[in-house]
A and B are shown apart, each in its own frame.
Chain A
Amino acid sequence: EAGVTQFPSHSVIEKGQTVTLRCDPISGHDNLYWYRRVMGKEIKFLLHFVKESKQDESGMPNNRFLAERTGGTYSTLKVQPAELEDSGVYFCASSQEYYNRIQETQYFGPGTRLLVL
């Protein structure tokens, strides 16, 4: 079974440009999460989709970030316009619905390393 995949693996852009990150979850996983790790800090939650609906977007830093999951399959995270502080590693994770919610396991992708110059 294929794991969570993310594209691109690396992206270097200039301040003010737009970047779109893509995440393909494990097939059949309704839950999809985006997280971000900036240098020296912990991995932080950005948002959570259940199928195509945003369940929780409390971690999104500001309105320059837009996440979509049309059709409930893959998801994109667009940053427009990018700022220097957006640099970091963006992780995607997915999980299956589980009868006991606290025991859901999130499987992570390899991340996209974003550098804004």
Chain B
Amino acid sequence: QKEVEQNSGPLSVPEGAIASLNCTYSDRVSQSFFWYRQYSGKSPELIMSIYSNGDKEDGRFTAQLNKASQYVSLLIRDSQPSDSATYLCAVCTGANNLFFGTGTRLTVIP
């Protein structure tokens, strides 16, 4: 069983819509959760981190964590074409190394 699962997509949304990206993880001792954005050929770039159950908002981005359901999501409001990228969900169990999902490719259509 994979540690971290994401739908590979592609996920297409029109400009201005809300993009919803989902991630589930298998290890119940996971303690910290990250969303990275990766443009083609570039570094994964951290956009959100979340450690406690509930919602965390930063600008147009909201991360949601539900540890009981082992589920973490990322909402992007007012999606822009520049948000088109692959979004990687990563989970840390406390041993410092990250476990990644395969990523969801998001396309925002102008």
Contacts and interface: CB of A to CB of B under 8 A. Distances in A.
B43 A45 contact: no
A31 B43 contact: no
A1 interface: no
Interface residues of A, number: 27
A43 B96 CA distance: 15
Contact of B92 (A35, A40, A102): A102
B51 A102 contact: yes
Interface residues of B, number: 27
A44 interface: yes
The 7 closest A-B pairs by CB, nearest first: A45-B97, A43-B100, A102-B31, A102-B32, A108-B43, A108-B44, A42-B100
Interface of A: 3-4, 31, 33, 35, 40-45, 48, 55-56, 59, 91, 101-111
24 contacts: A3-B43, A31-B96, A40-B102, A42-B99, A42-B101, A42-B103, A43-B88, A43-B90, A43-B98, A45-B97, A45-B99, A48-B97, A56-B96, A56-B97, A91-B43, A102-B31, A102-B92, A105-B34, A105-B46, A105-B49, A108-B43, A108-B44, A109-B43, A110-B41
